[in-house]
Amino acid sequence: MSFKLIGSLTAAVFGAVLAMSASTGAAMAAPECPDGTIKLGGISTITGPADFSEVPNATAAVFDQVNAEGGINGCQIEYILLDDKADPQVAAQSARDLVDNRGVVAMVGSASLLECQVNAGYYHNSGILSMQGLGVDAACFNVPSISPVNVGPFLLSTVMLQFSTEQLGNTQQCAMWIITGGTGEAYAEAVANWEELSGQKIHLVDNSVPFQGDYTPYVLKARDEGCDAVVFNTVEPQVVQMIKAADAQNIEGIDWLFLAPGYTVQVAEALADTNQPVYAGTEWEPFTEAGSEANEGWKAAMETAGLPLTAFSQGGYEAATLMIDVIKGIDGPVTREAVTNALHTMEPMEHPLVGTPYMFGEGDRHSSSRATKVMKLEGGEWVLETPDWFVLGD
């Protein structure tokens, strides 16, 4: 593994890349749809313990815009989204409905607590691929039939540990994980990857952190064990609870590092008065950077559709735009077999929202998004700590 910095990819550069591809063989391709539509499916957790609807809603908005402009070579996109309700049985039934009954040619823009784990084997056996808009569970990044567009919590954990080592100079690294389902092994691998990369050993790992409850014992444990940094894998409300617990105990000398779900406007506002050093890693170009050229296309699409500007919507936008480019490169009928072949044989595709090219390919596992920009909390606002992408590569 190597760890490096690369410059931001601007919208102008991305436009040049697209222009170059348009002047080659891909521009000569002519996608066809005998029945007038291209059916694409998505399965997301919308009701239940989490709501990831921002992801597929953004995907749908992009497809609506393409349809309004005449479609792909005249083909209208029919995007069918189903809610798995975080229920494994519903997730399995939804996949079979989309693939067997609705005849979708690919899955795109999905975002679910468990859909990857439930359906990956079925997708593989059915010859259909899923371009996940937000990979959540460990299976999303460890199977041949699914390739998420996001970094994911496990690789991002490794990146944040390395950021803490390289940029903050911490040596007593600690990790406190909320473990759900089979994620314990994935987080252990994330730590092991960092240890190999940095040459350091993790100072403390605590896998007992509850999803809800009093976090005072954990901030005291971090202090008493001599942690100078803690990487924590929770979502918005728990980020606030952890930092407020640290404030209440007058904790000093610890850097608190969170994953992408901690990077929200609501977290920044709720922690406006904290003196704790709080950092969060992003999975896309930081959505709070209003002047970013990389955000222009996504921002315009979301505003046109009346959707909120959030990191999750960036994932749905990226998945949709990438899938459109893949389909545009198909010469002939857009069938399931044609889309699968196009994804298996595709060249890496640059996108302005991410720091590394997207790739599906024929590997046994997929994790092509390997970069983050780190944000720091200052006075109730997120401030860009790393203007360049941090890239973790094999």
Coil, strand or helix at 343: helix
Q: What is the pLDDT of residue 13?
A: 36
Q: At what angle do helices 54-68 and 311-328 cross, to 10 degrees?
A: 40
**Following DSSP, what letter does each residue of 326-360 receive, concatenated?**
HHHT--EE--HHHHHHHHHHPPPB--TTSSS-B--
> Token pair for residue 233?
């894998």
Q: What is the pLDDT of residue 22?
A: 41
Q: Is pLDDT at 50 greater than 90 in this prediction?
A: no
3-state SS of the chain: helix, strand, coil percent to 5?
Answer: 40, 20, 40
Spatial contact of 246 and 230, defined as CB atoms under 8 Å apart: no
Coil, strand or helix at 361: coil
What's the CA gap between 320 and 132, in Å, rounded? 10
Q: What is the pLDDT of residue 29?
A: 77
Q: Is pLDDT at 68 greater than 60 in this prediction?
A: yes
Q: What is the pLDDT of residue 12?
A: 39
Percent of the chain, pLDDT > 90? 87
Q: What is the pLDDT of residue 295?
A: 97
> Is residue 164 very low, low, confident or very high in pLDDT (cuts 50, 70, 90)?
very high
Q: What is the average pLDDT across 165-171?
A: 95
> Is residue 392 very low, low, confident or very high in pLDDT (cuts 50, 70, 90)?
confident
Spatial contact of 257 and 163, defined as CB atoms under 8 Å apart: yes
Q: What is the average pLDDT across 311-316?
A: 96
Q: Is pLDDT at 26 greater than 50 in this prediction?
A: no
Across the chain, what does the average pLDDT equal?
92
> Is residue 266 very low, low, confident or very high in pLDDT (cuts 50, 70, 90)?
very high
Q: Is pLDDT at 335 greater than 50 in this prediction?
A: yes
Read off the pTM: 0.89
Angle at 185 between CA 182 and CA 191, to 5 degrees: 140
Q: pLDDT tens across 90-118, in order?
A: 999 999 999 999 999 999 999 999 999 99
Domains of the chain: 10-152+290-363 (3.40.50.2300), 153-282+373-393 (3.40.50.2300)
Q: Long-range contacts: 307-311, Cβ < 8 Å, 24+?
A: 307/54, 307/57, 307/58, 307/61, 308/54, 310/54, 310/264, 311/260, 311/263, 311/264, 311/282, 311/283, 311/284, 311/287
Name beta bridge partners: 37.
Answer: 76
Spatial contact of 110 and 102, defined as CB atoms under 8 Å apart: no
Burial 358-373 (b: 16+ CB within 10 A, else e): bbbeeeeebbbbbbbb
What's the CA gap between 309 and 292, in Å, rounded? 13
Q: What is the average pLDDT across 15-30?
A: 48
Nearest to 268 by CA among 293, 286, 249: 286
Percent of the chain, pLDDT > 70? 92
In a 13 Å sphere around the CA of 313, the CA atoms on its Cβ side amount to: 23
What's the CA gap between 248 and 86, in Å, rounded? 35
Q: What is the pLDDT of residue 393?
A: 58
Q: What is the pLDDT of residue 49?
A: 86
Q: What is the average pLDDT across 57-63?
A: 98
Place of tokens 């896998």: 207
Neighbours of 17 (CB within 10 A): 16
Q: pLDDT tens across 183-212, in order?
A: 899 999 999 999 999 999 999 999 999 988
Q: Is pLDDT at 82 greater than 80 in this prediction?
A: yes
Spatial contact of 389 and 353, defined as CB atoms under 8 Å apart: no
Q: φ and ψ at 201, to 5 degrees?
A: -115, 140
Spatial contact of 86 and 112, defined as CB atoms under 8 Å apart: yes
Q: pLDDT tens across 359-382, in order?
A: 999 999 999 999 999 999 999 999
> Is residue 28 very low, low, confident or very high in pLDDT (cuts 50, 70, 90)?
low
Torsion, CA 314, CA 316, CA 321, CA 324, rounded to 10: 180
Q: What is the pLDDT of residue 59?
A: 98
Q: What is the average pLDDT across 289-294?
A: 93
Q: What is the average pLDDT across 140-157?
A: 97
Q: What is the pLDDT of residue 181?
A: 77
Coil, strand or helix at 83: strand
Q: What is the pLDDT of residue 20?
A: 39
Neighbours of 334 (CB within 10 A): 26
Host H or E run for residue 322: helix 311-328
Nearest to 324 by CA among 123, 108, 80, 99: 108
Q: What is the pLDDT of residue 211?
A: 86
DSSP for residue 293: G
Q: Is pLDDT at 4 greater than 90 in this prediction?
A: no
